[in-house]
Each structure stands twice: as structure tokens, then as C-alpha cells.
Chains A and B, each alone.
Chain A
């Protein structure tokens, strides 16, 4: 079996706030293989974005206080800032949620898209610009040559996100991290962007980490997914398996809460009870236990570890680890 491209091992990132220390990433481990698409799912504040930022060491003002990020034989948490800069944008690219604010308003789009190749591949301004134009065309922007001379505010939301994707790909990185790439867009555009990401993954072979809170996005895109809650991974596995039989109550509740087209019209929605945890003052034991329909006594005492449950999945839950199936109305 080939080595995974990226290995995150027991990563810990903390933020110091007035109210106390927040363990945004609390012992996260996962792998990414070349060419595959991995989804990271969770609600706001669960630590998925910080995990991604920690991989490329942009987690400031947070601090990485433990763990490793192995990439091509190097531990990214330990390399020098200069070496890290070589990797950012060239080997691991990241694109962000809101393309309007993520693009610099005073520079032309083509110039910005071409910047990574100017920085990393040593292309001169003209060559970088034309490579940017061709990439913009590749991601589906019509009349790329003239549009590249435009400024961000002259692009529509969907086009800006395409431009961001183009910007991430110009150096043909090994890994593309997309942090909520469709959240700020309307539904029809969302579908187009997801299609684009899928094409890119297929044509360029770029391994992709897709971060989202939307299970629907993950379903069509990712081969594997991990579910995060309060800074920890609570479930991991192939997407199809996780959706068919979730092995963690949180995942189970998430899947149940999605309204279904084939449901009876008078059925009430089933939200997850309770509120997201206060990261400064986490519940004892399993962080999800106050909201869990399956909890037992042990859950409020001991923190469950992420262990294999079933053939292909992992889960951090005392209940499922002891063999119980999650069922319910």
C-alpha cells in the first residue's frame, strides 16, 4: 500500500482567550491519500477550519501545541517558516469561504490568480498572466482573457469562487484544501462549483480536503469523510458506509435532522437537542453526551477514544464501541 500523501497525527491547536484556553483542535488524526477527496464535516466552531489552517500553519493567533503533520516525509509543524512558505500555495493550496472578501479588491483578478506561479514557479509577469488566463478558462470562466483584466467586484459570486479555485490550482499542487467553498453561494451555483471541484480532482489528480457543515455537499463529492465535534473527530469512514449506518450518535442525529423528500408531510423536523458546547467549559467525559439520545453513565465520566467500529468505520463512542446499533425513530 502506498504511503498516504498527508498524515495528521494527534494534532492539538489551542487559542488563549479572556475566558480561558480553547482547545480548537484536540487530538485530531487522519490521513489523506493521493488523488482522493476527503470531507470534514461539523457545525460551526467544531474545529474543522482550524484543523485545515493548522496543516499549513496559518492558525494564528492559535498555537499548535502538539502532534505532527507529515507531508512528503517532513513534519510540517516543525519546518522553518521559509520552508513552509515554499509549500503553501505550491504544494498545498487552500481556498476560502467568501471569495468576495478573500480576493484583494485593488488588484486585477488575472494578476492575483497568477501570483502563485510568479512566486513559486518563477514565471515572469506576462507568462504568469497568460497561464492564469488559461486556468481561468479551464475552470469555466467565459472570455477568460478579457475577464482576467477585471477587478474582483466585477465578477459574480460563482465566478469569483471559480477564480479562487483557479488560483489554487495554477501551481498544480498535490493537495487542495477547500474551506466551505460553496457556503456563500446560492444553491444553483453551489452545484456548479461542486461539479468543478470534482472535475478538477479527476483531471489534475489533486487530493482534496473539503470542509463543510453541509452533509449534502459531502454526499456527492467525497469518498471518505470525518465528522468533528468540539475539536475532536467523532466518526470517520467511507462516505457511503457512514451515511448508511452511522456509528456515532452525533452523525446519526445529523442525518436524521435532514428533511427528506420522501417523508410524510406532517412529520415534524428532528433537530438535535440542546446547544453546541462552550469550548472553554466542555462537558465532562464525552463532549456530546448532554445532547445524546443514547448516553449511558460512562459517557459523562470518560472520554471515548476514536476506535474501529465495524469493518470500515471508526467512532469515538462508548455505546457503539460496545456493539450497540444506533436505531430510533
Chain B
């Protein structure tokens, strides 16, 4: 007879945090579908020239004045615009811009924001005060005005555009990281590591950073959708990527003049943005639920 009352039960072996999170993510069907969609979109973006050649047989900037405003059909799978350029091709190439700038923006925001937040949280004191006032200041300026201002001050290409959008984003990241660092700083292992003589930077990079990573991953994946929307809006306003380079946003800059000629031309780029951002948001939610279940509503 087994020892009195001792519960055994079917205990699962303990797993590392990353494994567990990855498992949780995999179990989320909607999230994984969204994630796969994004990977597919990214792949399409990267292989745009290939698609141009093989699938649509058009270049994004090829003008064809006797095929303007074509309806979706054999010649143009998704129709054509006011200069006869193939819409599908331009959407494919536009993915490069949207996804590329978004990626760059996230990279910039995260690196600057994490560094600032880490330093502020770790050293505390006046360094923390100064840095956080700086963050407050940057975050006080309405983003859209700042974007407009900076895009007329600095010539916008993909890199400067990413820098412009990141110039506001890094602030939230810094605050987030600082918060995490403050709470992690209290833990015993920090004192222990310092007591064996570890330097500040070593502590920050090797010990604090990995603990902050989950929060960063969640924040990044939740923020990508917003960034894509902002970038598209700036392009639409003519303050971002300039024509003739196609981007989903600038394909709509002259949309008001398309109203009577082709509704497709107005609808398609927007639908594309919508699907991409939706997938990105859903995947971001799935990542958040997987890596930080406490946040689940």
C-alpha cells in the first residue's frame, strides 16, 4: 500500500521559462496563424523582385498609359493605377517599405530605449531623474507634430523615417525597461553577483538584460502594428517615403482623385495595411499571453 496520503499525480517535468513560453505560444492557434502570415508577408517582401519577374511580370514603376485604372483582371490581377502601374506588384514592393521601416524603427526604439531605461533604473539618483525628465519631455510633444516637423527638417528616406518614428517610441521603451530594472534590482542575485566583484556593465548586460527581455519582446510585438500604421499615415501625407517608390501609404495619397475612376485603388492598399496590422496585433497578443500570462485580461 502506498505511503499514506502522499499525492503523486502526473507531474510534468519542470521546464525553463523560454520553453514554457514557446509551448504556450504554439498552443495558441489564432496567434500562430497570424505569426505565420507575417512570416509569409516578410518573405514576399524580401523576394519582391522575384515575384515581379515570375508572378506579375511587372516592375513597380513601369508606366503604361493605355492601361490606367484597369479593373482586376487577367492583365492586372488587382488592377492598375492612374499611370497604369500594376497594383499587385506595387503592393508587393510596398511590403518592403512598410515591414522594413517597421523593423528598423523597432530596432532603434528598443536599443536606445533599453539602454536609457537600463542606465536610469540601475544607477538611480540624479541620473535617473535627468533621464526620466528627458523621456517625459520627449513624450510630451504630440508625436504627429514632431513627425511632421522632423520630416521637413530632415530629408525622409527609409532610414531617417525609421529614426523619426523611433524618436518618440524609445521613450515608452525606456520607461518600461526602467520599471523592470527597478524591480529586478531588488532581487538577491543582484547583490550576490555584485559581491563577487562583477562590474556594472557586466551586471546590466549579462544579468539584468535577460530578465528584462520578456517585457521587451511583449512590448515590441504589441507595438509593431502601431508603427506600421504611423508609417503608412506619414507616407499618405506625403511626408514619408516619396513616390515613385511604392508604399502602401503613398499609394493612397491621391486617393481622393481615384474615387470616380476606381474604387479598388482606394480599397486595396488599405485592406493590405489592415490585414498586416491585424496579423501583427494578433501575433503580438499571442506573444504577450505566452510570455507574460499575468497580463492576460
Interface size on B, residues (CB 8 A): 5
Tell me, in angstroms, the Cα distance from A273 to B7 when the chains sit together. 12
Instruction: Tell me which residues across on chain A come within 8 A of B7, comparing CB atoms.
Output: 275, 278
Check: B141 CB closer than 8 A to any chain A CB. no
B3-18 at interface with A (beta carbon < 8 Å): 4-7, 9
Q: In the complex, A146 Cα to B5 Cα: how many Å?
A: 55
Q: Which residue of B lies closest to A288 (CB)?
A: B5
Instruction: Kindly state the separation between the CA atoms of A274 and B2 in the bound complex, as whole angstroms.
Output: 12
Chain B proximity of A284: nearest CB distance (Å) = 12
Which A residues lie within 8 Å of B4 (CB)? 273-274, 290-291
Within the complex, what minimum Cβ distance (angstroms) separates A270 from chain B?
Answer: 15
With both chains docked as a complex, state the minimum distance between the C-beta of A179 and any C-beta of chain B, in angstroms: 27
What are the residues of chain B within 8 A of A291 when measuring CB–CB? 4-5
CB distance from B73 to the nearest CB of A (A): 53
Q: B5, B6, B9 — which one has the most chain A CB atoms within 10 A of its CB?
A: B5
Contact with A along B86-116 (1 / 0, CB 8 A): 0000000000000000000000000000000
B residues near A273, Cβ cutoff 8 Å: 4-5
Interface residues in A249-276 (C-beta closer than 8 Å to B): 273-275
Q: Please report the C-alpha to C-alpha distance between residue A273 and residue B5 in the assembled complex, in whole angstroms.
A: 7
8 Å CB contacts to B: which residues of A276-295?
A: 278, 290-291
What's the Cα separation between A273 and B9 when bound, in Å? 18
Q: Measured between C-beta atoms, what is the minimum distance from A80 to chain B in Å?
A: 35
CB distance from A60 to the nearest CB of B (A): 21
**Cα distance A278–B7 when bound, in Å?**
8
Give Cα A278 to B6, complex, Å: 11
Cβ of A253 to closest chain B Cβ, rounded Å: 12
Q: In the complex, A78→B6 CA distance in Å?
A: 41
Collect the chain B residues with CB atoms within 8 Å of residue A278's CB.
7, 9
Report the minimum CB–CB distance from A286 to chain B (whole Å): 12
**How far does the alpha carbon of A290 sit from the alpha carbon of B3 in the complex, in Å?**
8
A116 CA / B281 CA spacing, docked (Å): 47
Bound Cα distance from A291 to B3, whole angstroms: 9
Q: Complex formed: what's the CA distance from A290 to B1 in Å?
A: 10
Whole-angstrom distance between the Cβ of B285 and the nearest chain A Cβ: 22
Cα–Cα distance between A156 and B291 once the two chains are bound (Å): 39
Report A105-141 residues with CB < 8 Å from chain B CB.
Answer: none
Give the CA-CA distance A275 to B5 in the complex, in Å. Answer: 6
Which of A275, A290, A291 has most chain B Cβ within 10 Å?
Answer: A290
* Chain B, Cβ-Cβ closest to A293: B4
What residue in chain A is nearest B9 (Cβ atoms)?
A278
Closest to A274 in B: B5
Query: For the complex, what is the distance from the CA of A80 to the CA of B9, rounded to whole Å?
Result: 42
Among residues of A, the one whose C-beta sits closest to the C-beta of B7 is A275
Contacts of A274 in B (CB 8 A): 4-6
CA distance A274 to B6 in the complex (A): 6
Query: Shortest beta-carbon distance, A169 to chain B, in Å?
Result: 38
Say how far B2's CB is from chain A's closest CB, in angstroms: 9
CB A126 to nearest CB in B, in angstroms, measures 41
A290: B residues at CB distance < 8 A: 4-5
Hey, what's the 0/1 contact readout for A82-114 against B, CB within 8 Å counting as 1? 000000000000000000000000000000000
Separation of A312 and B6 alpha carbons in the complex (Å): 34
Docked CA distance A278–B8 (Å): 11
Rounded to whole Å, the gap between the CB of B293 and the closest CB of chain A is 16
A contact residues around B6 at 8 Å (CB): 274-275
A291 to B7, CA, bound (A): 12
In the complex, residue of chain B having the shortest beta-carbon distance to the beta carbon of A278: B7
Assembly CA distance A226 to B9 (angstroms): 31
Nearest residue (CB) in B for A292 is: B4
Alpha-carbon distance A290/B5, docked complex (angstroms): 5
Give the CA-CA distance A160 to B7 in the complex, in Å: 39
Query: CA of A274 to CA of B7 in the docked complex: distance in angstroms?
Result: 8
- Min CB distance, A255 to chain B, in Å? 19
Interface residues of B in 158-182 (CB under 8 A from A): none
CA distance A290 to B6 in the complex (A): 9
Interface residues of A in 232-246 (CB under 8 A from B): none
Bound CA span A275–B9, Å: 13
> How far apart are the CA atoms of A204 and B49 in the complex, in Å?
88
Cα distance A116–B125 in the bound complex, in angstroms: 52
Complex CA distance for A103 and B149, rounded to whole angstroms:
52
- B275 vs chain A, min Cβ distance (A): 34
Task: Name the residue in B4, B6, B9 with the highest tally of chain A Cβ atoms < 10 Å from its Cβ.
Answer: B4
List, in ascending order, chain B residues with CB within 8 A of A275's CB: 5-7
Min CB gap A18→B, angstroms: 14
Bound-complex Cα distance A257 to B7 (A): 21
Q: Give Cα A273–Cα B6 distance, bound, in whole angstroms.
A: 9
Instruction: Give the residue name and chain of the A residue nearest to B3 (CB).
Output: A274
Cβ of A268 to closest chain B Cβ, rounded Å: 18
Nearest A residue to B2 by beta-carbon distance?
A: A290
8 Å CB contacts to B: which residues of A48-104?
Answer: none
Residues of A at the B interface (CB closer than 8 Å) are 273-275, 278, 290-291
Excluding A274-B5, A275-B7, A290-B4, 10 further A-B contacts by CB distance (< 8 Å) are: A273-B4, A273-B5, A274-B4, A275-B5, A275-B6, A278-B7, A278-B9, A290-B5, A291-B4, A291-B5
Interface residues of B (CB under 8 A from A): 4-7, 9
**14 interchain pairs, CB-CB under 8 A:** A273-B4, A273-B5, A274-B4, A274-B5, A274-B6, A275-B5, A275-B6, A275-B7, A278-B7, A278-B9, A290-B4, A290-B5, A291-B4, A291-B5
**Complex A-B, nearest 4 residue pairs according to Cβ-Cβ distance, in ascending order:** A274-B5, A290-B5, A291-B5, A290-B4
